């Protein structure tokens, strides 16, 4: 998803879109599926002439339970407020200057992935398998 920086006016550009991340993004992460993510916000120039990207991101990412490896729907609800840099005369002259916000969204989504996720942490799971058994947790 690209934003054309040449089209940003005094009010900014309104962003209201639904996106999905393909396999190339999620293949080396604990995320198993990341579809239908709602992005609502805007990109604008601040009073200091910096490009600001501000949005709310909502959706559901599918992760695995840390113990049972069952798929778990994990809610995603984050607010992004990124200052991306200063607008210069060079940017004004370069009419094809575009900003890829997918990378900014992806960086902020990855920060929301929990280190460990348990669907039912109170439940005692049988900690044994074929040829092994956990006798004491110590």
- Per residue in 76-114, pLDDT (tens digit) is 999 999 888 765 444 444 445 787 888 889 999 999 988
Q: Which residues contact 22 (CB under 8 A, 6 or more apart)?
A: none
**How does pLDDT run across 23-72, given as a tens digit for each residue?**
888 888 889 988 899 999 999 888 888 888 999 999 999 999 887 888 99
Which tokens is 104 given? Answer: 């900014």
Q: Which of 99, 74, 81, 76 is nearest to 18 (CA)?
A: 76
For 137, which DSSP code? Answer: -
50 touches 86 (CB < 8 A): yes
β-strand partners of 58: 38, 77
Q: pTM of the prediction?
A: 0.73
Residue 98 CA from chain centroid, whole number: 20
Q: What pLDDT was estimated at residue 77? A: 94
């Amino acid at each position: 998803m690209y934003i054309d920086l040449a089209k940003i006016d005094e009010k900014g550009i309104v962003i209201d879109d639904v996106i999905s991340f393909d396999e190339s993004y999620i293949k080396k992460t604990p995320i198993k599926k990341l579809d239908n993510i709602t992005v609502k916000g805007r990109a604008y120039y601040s009073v200091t002439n910096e490009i600001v990207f501000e949005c709310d991101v909502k959706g559901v990412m599918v992760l695995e339970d840390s113990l049972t490896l069952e798929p778990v729907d994990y809610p995603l609800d984050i607010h992004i407020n990124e200052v991306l840099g200063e607008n210069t005369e060079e940017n004004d002259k370069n009419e094809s200057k575009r900003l890829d916000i997918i990378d900014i969204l992806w960086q902020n989504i990855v920060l929301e992935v929990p280190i460990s996720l348990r669907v039912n942490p109170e439940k005692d799971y049988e900690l044994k398998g074929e040829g092994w058994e956990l006798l004491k947790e110590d």
